[in-house]
Amino acid sequence: MGRLTLAPRPPLRPQGGKWSFFCPNEAPGLCDCYGEEFERLYERYEREGRARESVDAQKVWFAILESQMETGTPYMMYKDACNRKSNQRHLGTIRGSNLCTEIVEYTSADEVAVCNLASIALPRFVLPATPAAAAGSGEGGEGGAPARYDLEALHEVARVVAKSLDRVIDGSEYPLAEARNSNPSPSPSPSPSPNPNPNPNPNPNPNPRRATPTFATGRWASAC
């Protein structure tokens, strides 16, 4: 998966302030914290003279904006907001996202987050109104019906998409062992069946952890 490092926001400075750039080996820990903790460490390293270079903050910002207008990149997300809102923040500081920035996931020394994507075109599931309804007020007339959303078809397509993403996970070649460790593991277990009678097959799904899709980890079906 393509990766984008989340850019922490340096502390707010008055107009004309500087933006300092550090070598991660000379100023360790900045990528592992956010919010007030990041600001304290950032300012401490500035006082200690560890910055490789300090540039006018406006100059850096305008360079970013110019690049975005001309090329569409760099994609930007805000590390503080991502970590404060993430349901994975209890694992540690989230430092990156997938390339298109629609998801952020925690990565550790043992597991590298992986993004598995599929898309569903939602307009294809709109059933048009019948002529009788279209000619009237839109609420449906005699012999007609208003436009509606085909939720049953969407359910079926989403089910196929989830199974297809599972096959992608199983069949992918992983360049890193840490990615192979990560990709199958976040899949949630299926919800308990409301049927009080036990299933006669003790293991109907050989990998029950892969039974349902999730929007909290790396398996995503985007709606567009």
Query: So which residues are the catalytic ones?
Result: 98, 100, 102
Q: How far apart are CA 161 and CA 63, in angstroms?
A: 40
Cβ atoms within 10 Å of 183's Cβ, excluding its own: 24
Residue 138 near residue 146, CB atoms below 8 Å: yes
CA 184 centroid distance within chain: 16
